[in-house]
A and B are shown apart, each in its own frame.
Chain A
Amino acid sequence: MNETITGPILTTDGIPLKVSLQKSEKRNKIRAFLLVVPLLAFILVTFLIPIGDMLLRSVDDSYINTVFPKTFKEYEKWDRQGLPSEELYKTMFFEVKESEGYAIGKASTRMNYAKSGWKSLLKKSKRKFKKIEEGPYKEQMIAIDKKWADMEYWKAIGVMVDATTAGYYLNAVDLKYNVDKDVVWQKENRRIYNQTWVKTFKVSILVMFFCLMLGYPISYLLSTLPLKYSNLLMICVLLPFWTSLLVRTVAWMVMLQQKGVFNNLLVMSHIISDENRFALMYNETATIIVMTQILLPFMVLPLYSVMKTISPNYMRAALNLGASPLHAFWKVYMPNSIPGISAGCMLVFILAIGYYITPELVGGKDGQMIGNWIAYHLKTTLNWGLCAALGAILLGVLTVLYWVYNKLVGIENIKLG
Chain B
Amino acid sequence: MKQLAALTALGLALASPAFASKVYVSNEKGNTITVIDSATWEVLTEFPAGNRPRGIGISPDGKHLYVCASDDDTVRVFDAETYEELWTLPSGPDPELFTMHPDGSLLYIANEDDNLVTVVDTASHTIVAEIPVGVEPEGMAISPDTRFVINTSETTNMAHFIDTTDYEIKHNILVDQRPRYAVYTDDGTGLFVSSEIGGTVSVIDPNADGGPQLLTKIGFEVAGVQPEWLQPVGMQVTADNKWLFVALGPANRVAVVDVATNEVVKYILVGQRVWQLGFTPDQKYLITTNGNSNDVTIIDVDAQKAVKSVQVGQQPWGVVVAPD
B and A form one assembly:
no
